[in-house]
Amino acid sequence: MEYKIKINEKVYHVDAGLPDGLGCTNMLLDEKARSVSVTSFSDNYLHLKVDGQAVNLFTARTTEGIWVWVDGRARLVENADKVERRKARGPSEVMREVTPPTPAAVVRVLVEEGQKVVKGQGLVVVSAMKMEITLSAPYSGIVRAVNTNVGDQVKPGDILVEIEAHAEED
Amino acid sequence: MRPWPVDIKATALSECRGLSMFSKILIANRGEIAVRVMRTAKEMGIRTVAVYSDADRESLHVFTADESVFLGESDPAASYLNIDKIIGAALQTGAEAVHPGYGFLAENPVFADRVTSEGLVFIGPSAKVMAALGNKTTARRTMAQSGVPIIPGMVDTEVDLVRLNQLAEAMGYPVLLKAAAGGGGKGMRIVDNPAALAEAAQAAAGEALTAFGDGSIYLEKYLDRPRHVEFQILGDSYGNLVHLFERECSIQRRHQKIIEETPSTALDSELRDRMGAAAIAVARAAGYVNAGTVEFLLDRNGKFYFLEVNTRLQVEHPVTEMITGLDLVRRQVEIAGGLPLPFSQGDLSRRGHAIECRIYAEDPEADFMPAPGRILFARSPEGPGVRFDHGIYTGFDVPVHYDPILGKLVVWAEDRSGAIARMIRALKECVILGVKTQIEFLLDVLSSDAFKAGETHTCFIDDHFAQWHPHSTGDESAVLGYVAWEMTGQRTVPSPGDVSAMADWTSPWHTLGAWDLAR
């Protein structure tokens, strides 16, 4: 059986055979052959043997994929085919929006409507968890709207400043 | 100084003196520190009262306490900073004393004063001592007058930008803007050149106002790559003062400590004795009672300067407990209860090496921004010399309104290299899934040659890890595990009433080789 597994930006190709009587499977990971067996102790704990070497994985399932912990690192493991289907449903503009990363309070508004801004320029300063975070322009352009005031409680998804993109600046 | 023989037990003493220990205390805090204080209280037979805000309805400290009182909305001003509500909770439950933890009202003299005026005991120094030492510029002035070396800089706050400019020029750049009303890195900005001063001053004052309710700032000379070395002090109400050695807290990011250890690699016994004596001199000059910490900056020439006194129990107190074998919260409660210290400086010794790593809900891939969320799975590390003080559990929603600290992982070992190896092992076992943490970053710092060599100073992170990003070790195992997991079909989760299915999960040998695709 073939699998396309995605972690961050990398896609791994796995070709897995059927398990033998002892629960051992041969898998081809990006062309490298491995012998893998799994013992599952609970919803959150998998014990792997890969070519005879033990690996302990801790897992937590979400709608987007499975968080897997190995040796101090957590990463989201997704089925790449499922990721493609989700992407097809509509573009995500999250990285290009001026929105707070966590629920926060607005403490300073640094720009106004009609103002020209350059990529990286500070637009709004919000305060969350006792830290001040400056939201900056994801690209250069003109401020079309400022949708917030000092003192507002805002959350991820709220578009605080709208910027109409310019062609590349001279 | 009245030395007390060490073999007098505290209970016998209290009987002699007609004192009795508190029967109930209120912990005016939340999260891991509230849990930690409650544990000692339980061991002392003292009943505990927790206070909580809306966001903390299902927090660990609420479940740990014997009683709990709801304060109100999650915003700190409406809850953990609300003096009236906290006093009300103490009076309503019949608590006899209040432990303030760290942060929030722990160093607020108005609160300490109010507690005592309501007939309750404040577990900490007096409001007067707190006020004198809590204002950083006043403290600097006092220390300067007492002959304790201080960092060159201002002993008063300043609002006038022109004046600040002049002082900075006179001192010489780089300079450090700091908040007078509190620490923890809030309201601090390093300024390299005159052009950056105005904006930095405004930002620092703003942050200070938000964090401490007081936007006053002052300037200090910025020392090059100093070490942050602090001394734990303990004083009873009879004038006995001791220090419990140092803590090295130089590994910081944005002026927030992330790794602390003891002993410091920079101190030999001669320097330790001198700094310890200075810490005691500071405490004595201030008339300090209960637990506190005297912070120094140690420059590269072995000269040390008084930084400030923290009039509270600190986040990193566990490393001191590990090397001395003492319970500092217990000492705090006993001192507040009127008991004398049962030891003198000569009785105290340290053993081995301890390291603490603070674990935050932060996204290392997004410049360590706070990353609250639900903890989908958590599992504590274990084993010899491992201690994990935390406030989390599987299923807990980390609130956004407060400091994102999830817990502190502390290890003790016979020597520093043993402690580093143990911390690395423990971090790898410290499973937290669902919220991002900087555990991977901590592992890289601890494994680095620079850390192993003990070259710790306050610019360590900037110097060695400014360009750090996560790597992909272990991803291949994760992929194989995922595929193997998927191939076993949908794992059925037994429903609550499904007893027979639960029985199948008891033996791991039962599942070996049991996945069978050809059904």
Please check whether residue B514 lies inside any domain of the structure: no
Does A84 share its domain with A102? no
Task: State whether B485 and A59 contact (CB < 8 Å).
Answer: yes
- As a whole number of angstroms, the distance between CA B25 and CA B90 comes to 8
Task: State whether B370 and A27 contact (CB < 8 Å).
Answer: no
Evaluate whether B124 touches B290 at the Cβ level (below 8 Å).
yes
Overall average pLDDT of the B346-375 stretch: 93
Query: Percent of chain B scored above 90 by pLDDT?
Result: 63
pLDDT tens digits for B330-348? 999 999 999 999 999 999 9
Task: State whether A72 and B484 contact (CB < 8 Å).
Answer: no
Does B93 share its domain with B198? no
Evaluate whether B411 touches B423 at the Cβ level (below 8 Å).
yes
Does B428 share its domain with B363? yes
pLDDT of the residue at B5: 44
Please check whether residue A136 lies inside any domain of the structure: yes
Does A157 share its domain with A82? no
Q: Which of A87-91, B149-153, B319-323, B446-450 has the lowest mean pLDDT?
A: A87-91
Does B116 share its domain with B158? no
- As a whole number of angstroms, the distance between CA A144 and CA A125 comes to 18
Query: Percent of chain A scored above 90 by pLDDT?
Result: 22
DSSP track, B148-209? --B-SB-SS----HHHHHHHHHHH-SSEEEEESS--TTTT-EEE-SGGGHHHHHHHHHHHHH
Task: State whether B433 and A69 contact (CB < 8 Å).
Answer: yes
Does A83 share its domain with A127? no
Show which of A88, A104, A120 is a domain's final residue. A88
Please check whether residue A170 lies inside any domain of the structure: no
Which of B114, B312, B387, B422 is catalytic? The answer is B312
Question: In B, which residues are within 8 Å of A7 by CB distance?
Answer: 472, 475, 478-479
Show which of B465, B496, B514 is a domain's final residue. B465
Overall average pLDDT of the B347-353 stretch: 97
pLDDT tens digits for B260-313? 999 999 999 999 999 999 999 999 989 999 999 999 999 888 889 998 899 999
Judged by a CB distance cut-off of 8 A, whether residue A110 touches chain B is no
Judged by a CB distance cut-off of 8 A, whether residue A14 touches chain B is yes
What pairs with residue A16 in β-bridges? A27
What band does B152 get if pLDDT is binned at 50, 70 and 90?
A: confident
Contacts A–B by Cβ distance under 8 A? 178
- Angle at which helices B161-171 and B197-212 pack, to 10 degrees? 110
Does B257 share its domain with B344? yes
Does B164 share its domain with B45? no
Rounded to two decimals, the pTM is 0.80
Residue of chain B nearest A67, judged by CA positions: B433
Residue B125 per-residue DSSP state: S
Does B216 share its domain with B231? no
Please check whether residue A22 lies inside any domain of the structure: yes
Integer angstrom CA distances of residue B223 from B142, B173, B298 = 21, 10, 9
Does A54 share its domain with A110? no
B347: distance to nearest CA of chain A, Å? 40
- As a whole number of angstroms, the distance between CA B138 and CA B127 comes to 15
Please check whether residue B374 lies inside any domain of the structure: yes
Q: Which of A42, A46, A71 is closest, CB to CB, to B481?
A: A46
DSSP track, A54-108? EEEEEEEE-SS-EEEEETTEEEEEEEHHHHHHHHHT----GGGSB--SSSEEEEE
What pairs with residue B357 in β-bridges? B259, B409
Residue of chain B nearest A72, judged by CA positions: B428
Judged by a CB distance cut-off of 8 A, whether residue B371 touches chain A is yes
pLDDT tens digits for B55-114? 999 999 999 999 999 999 999 999 999 999 999 999 999 999 999 999 999 999 999 999
Show which of A88, A109, A125 is a domain's final residue. A88
CATH of the domain at B77: 3.40.50.20
CATH of the domain at B424: 3.30.470.20
Close Cβ partners of B472 (under 8 Å, ≥ 6 residues apart): A7, A8, A10
In the predicted model, is pLDDT for residue B350 greater than 90? yes
Query: Based on the structure, what is the number of domains in chain A?
Result: 2
Task: State whether A70 and B369 contact (CB < 8 Å).
Answer: no
Query: Percent of chain A scored above 70 by pLDDT?
Result: 88
Does B28 share its domain with B80? yes
What band does A42 get if pLDDT is binned at 50, 70 and 90?
A: confident
- The boundaries of the domain holding residue A128 are 94-165
Integer angstrom CA distances of residue B370 from B401, B435, B436, B448 = 11, 10, 9, 25
Does A77 share its domain with A98? no
Within 10 angstroms of residue B256's Cβ, the number of other Cβ atoms is: 17
Task: State whether B403 and A67 contact (CB < 8 Å).
Answer: no
Residue of chain B nearest A27, judged by CA positions: B480
Task: State whether A46 and B485 contact (CB < 8 Å).
Answer: yes
Does A20 share its domain with A84? yes
- As a whole number of angstroms, the distance between CA B396 and CA A50 comes to 33
What pairs with residue B27 in β-bridges? B50, B99
Close Cβ partners of B207 (under 8 Å, ≥ 6 residues apart): A132, B179, B186, B187
Please check whether residue B35 lies inside any domain of the structure: yes
Task: State whether B206 and A27 contact (CB < 8 Å).
Answer: no
Please check whether residue A34 lies inside any domain of the structure: yes
Does A98 share its domain with A77? no
Q: For B83, phi and psi rounded to 5 degrees?
A: -60, -45
Does B119 share its domain with B239? no
- As a whole number of angstroms, the distance between CA A49 and CA B278 comes to 57
Show which of A31, A62, A88 is a domain's final residue. A88
Task: State whether B478 and A57 contact (CB < 8 Å).
Answer: yes
- As a whole number of angstroms, the distance between CA B320 and CA B276 comes to 14
CATH of the domain at A66: 3.30.700.30
In the predicted model, is pLDDT for residue B222 greater than 90? no
Q: Which of A22, A50, A58 is closest, CB to CB, to B480?
A: A50
Active site residue B140: no
Does B278 share its domain with B204? no
Does A11 share its domain with A53? yes
What band does B395 get if pLDDT is binned at 50, 70 and 90?
A: very high
In the predicted model, is pLDDT for residue B10 greater than 80? no
Judged by a CB distance cut-off of 8 A, whether residue A83 touches chain B is no
CATH of the domain at B162: 3.30.1490.20
Does B176 share its domain with B249? no
Overall average pLDDT of the B124-133 stretch: 94
Query: Based on the structure, what is the number of domains in chain B?
Result: 3
Taking the C-alpha atoms of B194, B199, B202 and B207 in order, what is their torsion angle to the nearest 10 degrees? -110
Does B443 share its domain with B319? yes
Does A46 share its domain with A74? yes
Q: Which of A150-154, B341-345, B451-455, B493-497 has the lowest mean pLDDT?
A: B493-497
Judged by a CB distance cut-off of 8 A, whether residue A102 touches chain B is yes
Judged by a CB distance cut-off of 8 A, whether residue A62 touches chain B is yes
In degrees, rounded to 5, the angle at the alpha carbon of residue B144 between the alpha carbons of residues B139 and B148 is 100
Judged by a CB distance cut-off of 8 A, whether residue B478 touches chain A is yes
pLDDT of the residue at B510: 34
Does A15 share its domain with A76? yes
Judged by a CB distance cut-off of 8 A, whether residue B447 touches chain A is no
pLDDT tens digits for A140-166? 888 888 989 888 888 777 889 988 876
Show which of B465, B491, B508 is a domain's final residue. B465
Judged by a CB distance cut-off of 8 A, whether residue B373 touches chain A is no
Q: Which of B477, B515, B517 is closest, CB to CB, to A55?
A: B477
Judged by a CB distance cut-off of 8 A, whether residue A134 touches chain B is no
Q: What is the ipTM of this complex?
A: 0.76
Task: State whether B478 and A27 contact (CB < 8 Å).
Answer: no
The overall average pLDDT reported for chain B is 88
User: B318 vs A104, which has greater pLDDT?
Assistant: B318
- In a 13 Å sphere around the CA of A104, the CA atoms on its Cβ side amount to 32
Task: State whether B485 and A69 contact (CB < 8 Å).
Answer: no
Does B217 share its domain with B260? no
Best of A32, A42, A64, A71 to mutate (most B CBs within 10 Å, chain B):
A71
Which residues 200-259 on chain B approach chain A with CB closer than 8 angstroms?
A: 203, 206-207, 210-211
User: B51 vs B180, which has greater pLDDT?
Assistant: B51
pLDDT of the residue at B102: 95
Judged by a CB distance cut-off of 8 A, whether residue B367 touches chain A is no
- The boundaries of the domain holding residue B181 are 152-221
Show which of B221, B246, B263 is a domain's final residue. B221
CATH of the domain at A105: 2.40.50.100
Does A55 share its domain with A124? no
Does A35 share its domain with A82? yes
pLDDT tens digits for A93-134? 444 678 887 778 888 898 888 888 888 788 898 887 666 778
